[in-house]
DNA sequence: GTATGTGCAAAACCTTTGCTATAAA
DNA sequence: TTTATAGCAAAGGTTTTGCACATAC
């Protein structure tokens, strides 16, 4: 099932209404690559329908997050802005270049190990792992380092 | 050298003034366990000297961070608030219990491995790693689970 | 028809900053 | 005396919310 249909169904299953605004926002998400943030979605939605408000974008993001259709992350250590991405992909993490802001996604078995280690060492149950890395990507390293 | 002396010296070395307000804030940090946030420091500083403002607390935190005396982190996935801790301890990370909010600090060799793996796989230079874990601590797990 | 969603503008929240007075050196 | 710092209050930036109206079902 594609993202739009899944979203339609999830929203209706939750007793919600699949409004025109939500349809526009959801379609934009489905057509997005990797990550999107609220403002980005808002600009694009607004271009299609001037009446769409930022509040509606946020409310739609929340509805889909509650439905488990998208996940929220931060990409930078300073956590200045939330980004979202479709849920259900394999667990992965992000590295952001401090210079060109490119994002590299990667998987990390190390985190599973860490998780297990913590569960057995401390008896905790680890629910969520937030990990943001930054530094310089290969290209930016070779063309005049900063920092 | 203790924290107060180190801070005094660092601030003066940077051409700054070691004001009475800064002394109070720095003393409170030195007497703090593990983490502190701006508001917490502010309340405690304000109890000692009513005239101390939150802005001064923040500015002092920045001055010490610039001097490399404290490090800033987030403890929760939602990154709602910055916390600080004295710098120079071994690299470590934090797990926060979603129920009782206790914080468990731990070291993680897995992160070094991950870092090296990324550097060789992608040619990136990893500068900073931000990792926040949450879940339930052992105690909260045994006494009536939530979520 | 009824409950849910919308737009707007204002609030919330933590953090930063402009300005003028103050105080460290 | 000089120059950094203080306090205050206001601004910043993202995200949330109260309210009255609109709309999906």
pLDDT digits (tens, 9 = 90+) for A38-91: 999 999 999 999 999 999 999 999 999 999 999 999 988 887 889 999 998 788
Interface test with B, best of A62, A73, A77, A120 (most B CBs within 10 A): A77
Task: Work out the pLDDT band at B146, boundaries 50, 70, 90.
Answer: low
Contact A111 B113 (CB under 8 A): no
Q: Work out the mean pLDDT of chain B and round it to a whole number.
A: 92
Say whether pLDDT at A25 is over 90. Answer: yes
Does at least one atom of strand D sit less than 7 Å from the CB of B60? Answer: yes
| Site of tokens 């939605």 | A45
The DSSP 8-state label assigned to residue A36 in this structure reads: B
Look at residue A80 in the predicted model and tell me its pLDDT: 83
Domain boundaries, chain B: 1-88, 90-147
Contacts of B122 in chain A (CB under 8 A): 95, 104, 106, 137-138
A111 vs B: CB within 8 A = yes
CATH number for the domain running over A1-88: 1.10.10.10
* C-alpha span between B136 and B95 (Å, rounded): 9
Nucleotides on chain C that have an atom closer than 7 A to a protein CB are: 3-10, 13-18, 23-25
Q: Determine which helix (DSSP H) or strand (DSSP E) holds B42, and give its type and residue range.
A: helix B38-48
Is pLDDT at A147 greater than 70 in this prediction? no
The pLDDT value recorded for residue B147 is 53
- What lies within 8 Å, CB to CB, of B69 at 6+ separation is B3, B6, B7, B10, B86, B87
Q: What is the mean pLDDT of residues B100-109?
A: 92
Nearest to A28 by CA among A10, A54, A53, A47: A47
Superfamily of domain B90-147: Ferric-uptake regulator, C-terminal dimerisarion domain (3.30.1490.190)
Q: Do domains A1-88 and A90-147 have the same CATH topology?
A: no
SS percent in chain B: helix, strand, coil, step 5: 45, 20, 35
Q: Which residue has the tokens 């099932």?
A: A1
Q: Is the overall model pTM greater than 0.75, yes or no?
A: yes
pLDDT, tens digit, for every residue of B65-102?
A: 999 999 999 988 888 889 999 998 788 999 999 888 89
A47 touches strand C (CB under 7 A): no
Structure tokens at B32: 């703090």
């Amino acid at each position: 099932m594609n993202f739009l249909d899944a979203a339609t169904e999830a929203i209706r299953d939750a007793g919600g209404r699949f409004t025109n605004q939500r349809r526009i926002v959801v379609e934009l998400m489905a057509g997005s690559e990797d990550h999107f943030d609220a403002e980005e979605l808002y600009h694009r939605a607004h271009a299609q329908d001037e009446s769409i408000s930022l509040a509606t974008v946020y409310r739609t993001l929340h509805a889909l997050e509650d439905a488990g259709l998208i996940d929220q992350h931060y990409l930078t250590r300073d956590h200045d802005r939330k980004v979202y991405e479709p849920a259900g992909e394999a667990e992965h993490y992000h590295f952001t270049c401090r210079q060109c802001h490119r994002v590299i996604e990667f998987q990390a078995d190390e985190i599973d190990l860490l998780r297990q280690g913590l569960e057995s060492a401390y008896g905790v149950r680890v629910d969520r792992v937030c990990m943001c890395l930054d530094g310089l990507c290969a290209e930016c390293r070779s063309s005049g380092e900063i920092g």
